Structure 1
């Protein structure tokens, strides 16, 4: 059976699980009606087609389905896992350390005081271990240290390591066609895992 991308309103059991994890009543989080539960096909690290789930803003849900369908159909990129951050109690660090691809999480920017693009439902992080956030001597997640410089990333890619986002690959191209920006080109930091509709 061929798996296809789909979308639906957030099911009641998922919404209940989000409370106090990725959604908080006291943080000005998006209302439920603005969020969509998306099911997406992807190739896992073993090369099998499986289904993953993300929550994104209603306005970008169709684009996200098109993007991940393109990535999957290319057969050229693998994702280790794709689960809601609620499976990690809404803890972004735990999700990243487990190399989980995720999207919505009502949280502030790293080290900032404003709502992140994840909190607005318009950002996705892909394979955080192979595509870490890097600023100066900091790497997040810490187990992404073997992929935190262009030289290390290129060497691992040439060895055939799975899940590394590269500048000219299908992942960057598919997101770019929908106007999304890649954090791998940020100047004050590198956020190789990060794609966002607003470029933030």
Structure 2
């Protein structure tokens, strides 16, 4: 069984539906690395396909470990610029389960690709990356290889949302 300390009874998919997936990625050091994501079993093929495309494009990822490495604390994981998927949590500021709680969402390089909601930046240390006109390593832009890779598997980008911008976020259902 997968060790998912963030799993909870009020806002998580069945543990039997989760899979620990090992993936290759290019690091900011321009070297190949291996990381882990916890995903819903029905999301594994889509995410693996998108990540293969990112690897082929040599898109850099800072790190990729399960959120349990950060005691399931989303802010701490984001501040570490950790690309992650499953986290049994609610949508920020609500009592609605996040798609992360179902293993059907991924956040890529959250420091370079923050969420901006109601004038607040998540992670709080990512203010320098709110200006999306920058050409910063690991930053996601419209129609770049990351957006195209996830669009190819039917996962829309949070950077296209209108009510808030979640530049790190891709999910099976869009939220």
The answer to whether the Cα contact below 8 Å between 2:114 and 2:167 also exists between their aligned partners in 1 is: yes
State how far apart, in whole Å, the 1-side matches of 2:116 and 2:91 are: 14
Q: Name the TM-score, length of structure 1 as normaliser.
A: 0.84
1:28 Cα deviation after fit: 4.6
Is it true that 1:146 corresponds to 2:128 in the alignment? yes
2:85 maps to 1:106:
no
Structure 2 unmatched ranges of 5 or more: none
Q: TM-score, normalised by structure 2?
A: 0.96
What's the offset of the Cα at 1:153? 2.4
Matches within 5 A, 1:146-185: 146-148=128-130, 152-155=131-134, 157=135, 161-185=136-160
Residue 137 of structure 1 and its aligned partner are, at CA, apart by 2.0
Larger radius of gyration between Structure 1 and Structure 2: 1
Alignment correspondent of 1:6: none
Quote the Cα distance in structure 1 between the aligned partners of 2:76 and 2:127: 16
Q: Which among 135, 138, 141 is matched to residue 117 of structure 2? A: 135
- Residue aligning to 2:54: 71
Q: Cα RMSD between the aligned structures? A: 1.1
Q: Distance in 2 between matches of 1:168 and 1:198?
A: 19
**Residue number among 23, 27, 35 corresponding to 1:52 in the alignment:** 35
2:101 maps to 1:119: yes
Matching residue of 2:168:
193
Aligned length, in residue pairs = 175
Higher relative contact order (CA 8 A, sep 6+): 2
Long gaps (5+) in structure 1: 1-11
Inter-partner Cα distance in structure 1 for 2:74 and 2:43: 21
Structure 1 outlier segments of 4+, above 6 Å: none
